[in-house]
Amino acid sequence: MLAIPWIAIFPAALAAWSPAFRWLSLGLLVIGYSAALVNGQLDPLAVIPVTSLLFVAYAVSPHRKRYLQYIGHALFLVLAIALNMHWLPGFHNPRVIGPERFTVDAVPFTMYLNLDKPLVGFWLLLVLPWTRPLLKWRVALKAGLGGMLMTTAICLLIAVLFGLVRWAPKWPSASWLWLLNNLLLVTLTEEALFRGYLQGGLSRLLSQYRYADVIALSVAAVLFGLAHFAGGWQWVVLGCVAGIGYGLAYRFGGLGAAIFAHFGLNVTHFFLFTYPMLQSTGPL
């Protein structure tokens, strides 16, 4: 019973990527979240943020008055922060991994299959198509691969120098679940928010200025770094550096390229280095 919601939610993430499968994605989300309600992983209070997101979708439509669009975007930012930080009641995200040490010197790792945070990514993909500019797949692949190689090399080198991780190849038993969750719920949501919405939105908003793209990329990267403040200043630095790499991938290859770069770094970190970090550096 635990797995039933995600049998629908994981495919919904894939379907949300294509405008042609928008309604399929919505249908799968209804099935998945209904199953979560039956399972007790949601309670009626979750209706409040879901209803709020539906109102925001109405408000930000280009057919609405400008003031209503501003209200909608402001409310979305509040909801996005609250859902990402798991502040809103009604969601009982099941723990599926841990606490578990993948290596003897690592901080114990715990993973939940979140029902709240992914709502942000789904909302962006389904409501604001401009967050995922459609580019030729060769362009996206080239930008994503370049961004992944550059960002992975720089960030992991910095992490090693900071004493956060060390070389530690491994294949944990729950790797398949980590891969699905990290790609379809975590990375997709974070890149849709920070690159698609914030970087893409700022680029559109400041388009009349000469350095609009640079400003948008920088702001999104800094905010992405600050989102990692719970891990300490080292993780804020790493988040900012990674945000620049993902931002460049997005700038030249679109949202798919940014997701490719982000997921590539996460996979390399997970399988080849201490995950999530060395015990001696303190808890996350």
Alpha helices in the chain (DSSP H): 4-16, 22-39, 47-59, 66-84, 118-127, 137-161, 175-181, 188-191, 200-205, 212-226, 233-272
Say what the pLDDT of residue 283 is: 38
* Unique residue bearing structure tokens 């996206």: 140
Domain residue spans in the chain?
A: 133-284
Can you say whether the dihedral through the CA atoms of 200, 202, 208, 213 is positive or negative? negative
Q: What pTM does this model have?
A: 0.95
Q: Please give the pLDDT value at position 2.
A: 72
Q: Answer for the pair 260, 148: CB distance below 8 angstroms, yes or no.
A: yes
- pLDDT for the residue 282: 43
- Angle among Cα 12, 14, 17 to the nearest 5 degrees reads 105
Q: State the Cα–Cα distance between residues 258 and 245, nearest whole angstrom.
A: 8
Number of Cβ within a 10 Å radius of residue 198: 23
Each residue's pLDDT expressed in tens, for the chain with a length of 284 residues: 677 899 999 999 999 988 889 999 999 999 999 999 999 999 999 999 999 999 999 999 999 999 999 999 999 999 999 999 999 999 999 999 989 999 999 999 999 999 999 999 999 999 999 999 888 889 999 999 999 999 999 999 999 999 999 999 999 999 999 999 999 999 999 999 999 999 999 999 999 999 999 999 999 999 999 999 998 999 999 999 999 999 999 999 999 999 999 999 999 999 999 999 999 744 33
